[in-house]
Amino acid sequence: MLCTYRMIAVLGLTLAVASAPAISSDNTFKKSTELEKRTAKTSEDVDKYAIQLDKTERALFHLSQGEGKELRKRYKSFSREVDNLAEAQKHATSAIDEMASKGTEYFLQWGKSIAQILDPELKQSSMERRSKLMQKHDDLATTLSDIGHQLPPFMKNLRDIEAFLGADLTPANVSNASGMIQNCRDNARTLGSRIAGVQITLKGFLNEASK
């Protein structure tokens, strides 16, 4: 009977060890899929923010040119676009943070999988592939984070213009705000150019990760 128990225990341990690599591989595949989905979502949300940024900049320009009855209509349009931009910013920054988090989880799990590979060539190939993708992801995450830090100050300036003109909407006040308006328009175009580069990088990372 004691011998039988020992055999069962040894068999159980053997099965547990044998199943460990499979479990790790499954987890790595799951993390890979999650990162791919989050990156695709980030790309989508960044695209939406870029579109809304352009709409807001155009609304700001039209506001600066408004006179008479048109001025109130253009102010309402500008205010609406700023609200839409704030919503787009919320989704984009959330997606960026989530993508960075999923990337950290994936590459950590991938490292654990590599440790279980016995064949030297396969291990080396996986290590090189992981290093290449991890560098691309880290560079992308850093760039996205840098852009993300620019969004709150930019939004604050837009809200300042909105509050300033909303309290006293007159052509004279629009003229008084002309410096801030032009500064916001310049920043919007600069931000848009940087985001355009990130949009290409995001799509490139998705293609690279799926090869």
Residues in CB range of 59: below 8 A, 6 or more apart:
74, 77, 78, 80, 81, 82
In percent, the amount of the chain with pLDDT more than 70 equals 88
**Global pTM value:** 0.83
Quick one: pLDDT at residue 76? Answer: 97
Give the whole-angstrom CA distance, residue 32 versus residue 35.
Answer: 5
- 112-124: average pLDDT: 94
Cα 76 from Cα 72, distance rounded (Å): 6
What average pLDDT score do residues 94-118 get? 93
Rounded CA separation 47/92 (Å)? 9
Residue ranges of domains in the chain? 37-209
Report how far apart, in Å, the C-alpha atoms of 168 and of each of 62, 161, 162, 174 are. Answer: 18, 11, 10, 9
The Cα 178–Cα 134 span in angstroms is 45
Average pLDDT over residues 142-171: 94
Helix (H) or strand (E) holding 169: none
> Would you give the distance in Å from CA 174 to the centre of its chain?
35
pLDDT band (50, 70, 90) for residue 154: very high
Q: Which residues touch 154 (CB under 8 Å, ≥6 apart)?
A: 184, 187, 188, 191
pLDDT digits (tens, 9 = 90+) for 28-48: 899 999 999 999 999 999 999
Q: Which two tokens stand for residue 40?
A: 């695709």
| Whole-number Å distance between alpha carbons of 57 and 141 | 26
